């Protein structure tokens, strides 16, 4: 569609993705793009696209921020149809530094479904047999509910009057309070995401200059109240169109990434991204030990040293996970591999696990084994690009755990100070 | 001092010959304290350096985290942020072509330490007061493994 509008083929794309997308989802998008013949310039989390737009606007406002070094902190809240994303960005002189990201799979769709259930509690059973007429009815009902939600953004009560044909009618007066009660869970989740993001960014609320609300659901009064309430702000930033902000930001990124320069310096922009999810390995029993924590600046590299748990252990199984759940199994399995270790008393070999994320967000894992006293690794360092397995392969890890028990386990070695 | 010729361009701003004569001194002579009085001579060159070599400071192995960012030890939080932004503009992998990966990681780790007042205090203590670099092992560069006249000129 974009191609026919532009009347020329599109080859390079910048895509915005929800913050909570795992590495698998990102890989899948890239694969899909490759199949469609598109070269992905960037896959950027949605709020960071907004942050880029904000950085450009601030650049226009104060041309010489670079000199004064005044940085402006902004909280970006994006609630779309399926995902809720929050980011805290610090911007000065066109360089925006993402301080923290958080996101979750809640959005307008949940609000809509909750509302439909509220209006017609038996709706799910009603449309079970998926006939053509049922689907038509359902979509009528959907559109009507959507309209009702929209009107509730501007007025306190709404008359819902839907004729579904064959004797079914929904007549109800819905108040804003009712709507908020029905969607309490969604709003609570959003609030938790904002609180978490502010906490991760370690910002002082007093230093927050702007609160930016974007996305289709940003007009809901309750959402505004929640976000502004948490940020202790009176009003939100009005400099951008909430529906177009993400796309504008992505367009800017596209221009920057493809090397377009603007003599006025309006494209003199840089976004310093962070990883939205922690990455670590299984160690210390059945624990998730993060090596790269979430909200680490990309490119990033961090290594941790582990050691063996058994006498003369000759192999160690390294299983890598991505996520922020305390429980290992709740995180996504990214891959697993073994490293060979020369026989040695337990606790002596140093197994160095290094995770490296480059600027194009490719994750590599390097593993080397060192015996104390020798500076060189005993075996060539292994380098592996992750993810190695596909999504939902957590069962592989389970199977490996059953097979080997704890014979190939690792424990983390405190760094000698 | 193998790296001295690289800095001959500073001879106009700093007493280069003086620096050279003192460079053989060990840094733990009695006058070496982290306060500004000791570091005043390097202030000129540090200010010069921040303009002159945002690229090279990152690619050559800098000695202290302050050197990575091209700053003096008394830099304010604001200056640190500015320096980080300036360096990010040049050496972030999105802008720079190849080999920027490690540079930026180094710059960022320097920034991460110095922009956090607590970590910065720890770092300053580790480098300047205890001065036992072997015992200090958080940051990217081994402290004082490669001394340059800039850090040595304390008289």
- Does the structure show a pLDDT above 70 at A261? yes
State the smallest CA–CA distance between residue A58 and chain B in angstroms.
15
As for the ipTM of the complex, it is: 0.74
Determine which of A12-21, A391-400, B12-21, B85-94 has the lowest per-residue pLDDT on average.
Answer: B12-21
Spell out the domain ranges in chain B: 65-131
Residues of A with CB below 8 A from B82's CB? 66, 69, 92
Among the four given CATH numbers 2.40.50.140, 3.30.420.40, 3.20.20.70, 3.40.50.300, the one describing domain A1-104+184-274: 3.30.420.40
For residue A42, the chain B residue with the least C-alpha distance is B94
Residue B102: closest C-alpha in chain A = A299
Interface test with B, best of A14, A64, A97 (most B CBs within 10 A): A97
Q: Which residues in chain B are closer than 8 Å to A416, comparing Cβ atoms?
A: 137
Contact between A359 and B100 using a beta-carbon 8 Å cutoff? yes
B98: closest chain A residue by CA = A359
A72-79 β-sheet, strand order: A208-214, A72-79, A84-92, A95-104, A270-272
Q: Which CATH architecture has domain B65-131?
A: Orthogonal Bundle (1.10)
What residues of B are in contact with residue A359 (Cβ under 8 Å)?
A: 92-94, 100-101, 104
Instruction: For residue A300, list chain B residues with Cβ-Cβ distance below 8 A.
Output: 105
What's B121's DSSP letter? H
H/E run at residue B85: helix B77-91
A417 CA to chain B: closest CA distance, Å? 6
Question: Which residues partner with A298 through β-bridges?
Answer: none
Q: What's chain A look like in SS3?
A: CHHHHHCCCCCEEEEEECCCCCHHHHHHHHHHHHHCCCEEEEEEEHHHHHHHHHHHHHHHHCCCHHHHCCCEEEEEEEECCCCEEEEEEEEECCEEEEEEEEEECCCHHHHHHHHHHHHCCCHHHHCCCCCHHHHHHHHHHHHHHHHHHHHHHHCCEEEEEEEEECCEEEEEEEEHHHHHHHCHHHHHHHHHHHHHHHHHHCCCHHHEEEEEEECCCCCCHHHHHHHHHHHCCCCCCCCCCCCCHHHHHHHHHHHHHCCCCCCCCCCCCEEECECCCCEEEEECCCEEEEEECCCCECCEEEEEEEEECCCCCCEEEEEEEECCCCCHHHCEEEEEEEEECCCCCCCCCEEEEEEEECCCCCEEEEEEEECCCCCCCCCCCEEEEECCCCCCCHHHHHHHHHHHCCCCCEEECCCCC
- Would you state the pLDDT for residue B70? 83
Question: Do A277-412 and A108-182 fall under one CATH topology?
Answer: no
Domain ranges of chain A: 1-104+184-274, 108-182, 277-412
Can you tell me the distance from the alpha carbon of A178 to that of A186, in angstroms, rounded to the nearest whole number? Answer: 14
Select from B78, B79, B93 the Cβ nearest to the Cβ of A359: B93
- A207–chain B nearest CA distance, Å: 14
Asked if residue A270 has pLDDT above 90, the reply is no
Q: Higher confidence at residue A387 or residue A75?
A: A75
Grade residue A88 by pLDDT with cuts at 50, 70 and 90: very high
Residue B93: partners with Cβ closer than 8 Å, 6 or more residues away: A299, A358, A359, A360, B100, B101, B104
Whether a cis peptide bond, with omega within 30° of 0, leads into A254 is no
Q: Which of B77, B92, B103 to mutate to test the interface with A (most CBs of A within 10 A)?
A: B92
Top-level class of domain A108-182: alpha beta
Instruction: For residue A95, give how far its alpha carbon lies from the nearest alpha carbon of chain B (Å).
Output: 7
Span A397-415, average pLDDT = 76
pLDDT value at B137 more than 70: no
pLDDT band at B9 (very low <50, low <70, confident <90, very high): very low
Q: What pLDDT is recorded for position A225?
A: 92
Between A69 and A328, name the one with better pLDDT. Answer: A328
Q: Which one of A93, A270, A416 has the shortest CB-CB distance to B94? A: A270
Instruction: Indicate yes or no: CB of A272 within 8 angstroms of CB of B92.
Output: yes
Residues of A in contact with B101 (CB under 8 A): 299, 358-359
Task: Write out the residues of chain A at the interface with chain B, using a CB-CB cutoff of 8 A.
Answer: 66, 69, 71, 92-93, 95, 97, 256-257, 270-272, 297, 299-301, 358-360, 415-417
Summarize the confidence of residues A251-259 as an average pLDDT: 86
Lowest mean pLDDT among A312-316, A362-366, B151-155: B151-155
pLDDT value for A166: 67
- Inter-chain residue contact A359 with B135, CB threshold 8 Å: no
Of B85, B112, B137, the CB nearest to A95: B85
b/e map B77-113, b = 16+ CB within 10 Å:
eebbbbbbbbbbbbbbbbebeeebbbbbbbbbbbbeb
Mean pLDDT of A324-343: 87
Q: Is the pLDDT of residue A353 over 50?
A: yes
Q: Decide if domain A277-412 falls under CATH 3.40.830.10.
A: no
List pLDDT tens digits, range B18-77: 333 333 333 333 333 333 333 333 333 333 333 333 333 334 455 788 888 888 888 888
Query: Does the pLDDT at position B145 exceed 70?
Result: no
Q: pLDDT band at A200, cuts 50/70/90?
A: very high
Lowest mean pLDDT across A9-13, A216-220, A332-336 = A9-13
The better pLDDT of the pair B147, B86 is held by B86
């Amino acid at each position: 569609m974009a191609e026919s509008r532009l009347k020329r083929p599109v080859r390079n794309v910048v895509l915005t993705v929800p913050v909570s997308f795992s590495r698998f989802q990102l890989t899948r998008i890239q694969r899909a793009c490759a199949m469609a013949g598109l070269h992905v310039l960037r896959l950027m989390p949605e709020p960071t696209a907004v942050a880029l737009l904000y950085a450009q606007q601030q650049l226009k406002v104060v041309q010489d921020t670079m000199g004064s070094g005044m940085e402006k902190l902004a909280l970006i809240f994006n609630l779309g149809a399926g995902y809720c994303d929050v980011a805290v960005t610090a911007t000065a002189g066109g360089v925006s530094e993402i301080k923290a990201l958080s996101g979750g799979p809640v959005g307008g769709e949940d609000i809509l479904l909750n509302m439909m259930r509220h209006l017609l509690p038996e709706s799910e059973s009603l449309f079970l047999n998926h006939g053509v007429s049922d689907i038509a009815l359902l979509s009528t009902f959907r559109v009507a509910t959507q309209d009702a939600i929209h009107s509730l953004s501007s007025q306190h009560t709404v008359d819902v009057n839907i004729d579904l044909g064959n004797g079914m009618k929904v007549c109800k007066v819905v108040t804003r309070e009712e709507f908020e009660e029905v969607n309490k869970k969604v709003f609570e989740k959003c609030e938790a995401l904002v609180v978490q993001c502010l906490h991760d960014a370690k910002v002082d609320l007093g230093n927050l200059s702007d609160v930016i609300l974007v996305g289709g659901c940003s007009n809901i009064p309750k959402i505004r109240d929640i976000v502004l309430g948490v940020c202790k702000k009176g009003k939100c930033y009005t400099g951008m169109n909430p529906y177009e902000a993400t796309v504008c930001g992505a367009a800017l990124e596209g221009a920057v990434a493809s090397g377009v320069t603007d003599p006025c310096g309006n494209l003199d922009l840089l976004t310093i991204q962070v990883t939205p999810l922690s990455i670590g390995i299984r160690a210390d029993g059945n624990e998730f030990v993060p090596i790269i924590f979430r909200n680490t600046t990309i490119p990033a590299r961090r290594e941790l040293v582990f050691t063996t748990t058994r006498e003369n252990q000759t192999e160690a199984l390294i299983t890598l996970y991505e996520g922020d759940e305390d429980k290992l199994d709740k995180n996504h399995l990214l891959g697993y591999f073994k490293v060979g270790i020369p026989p040695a008393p337990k606790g002596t070999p140093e197994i160095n696990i290094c995770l490296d994320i480059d600027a194009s967000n490719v994750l590599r894992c390097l593993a080397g084994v060192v015996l104390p006293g020798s500076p060189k690794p005993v075996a060539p360092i292994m380098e592996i690009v992750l993810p190695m397995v596909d999504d939902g392969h957590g069962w592989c890890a389970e199977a490996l755990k059953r097979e080997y028990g704890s014979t190939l386990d690792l424990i983390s070695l405190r760094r000698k100070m | 001092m193998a790296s001295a010729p690289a800095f001959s361009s500073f001879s106009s701003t700093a007493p280069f010959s003086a620096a050279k004569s003192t460079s053989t001194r060990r840094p733990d002579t009695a006058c070496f304290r982290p306060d500004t009085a000791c570091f005043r001579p390097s202030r000129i060159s540090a200010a010069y350096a921040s303009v002159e070599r945002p690229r090279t400071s990152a690619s050559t192995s800098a000695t202290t985290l302050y050197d990575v960012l091209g700053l003096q030890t008394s830099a304010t939080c604001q200056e640190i942020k500015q320096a980080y932004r300036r360096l990010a503009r040049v050496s972030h992998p999105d802008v720079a072509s190849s080999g920027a990966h490690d540079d930026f990681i180094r710059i960022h780790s320097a920034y991460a330490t110095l922009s956090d007042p607590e970590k910065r205090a720890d770092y300053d203590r580790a480098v300047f007061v205890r001065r036992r670099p072997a015992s200090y092992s958080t940051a990217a560069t081994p402290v004082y493994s490669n001394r340059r006249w800039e850090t040595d000129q304390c008289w």
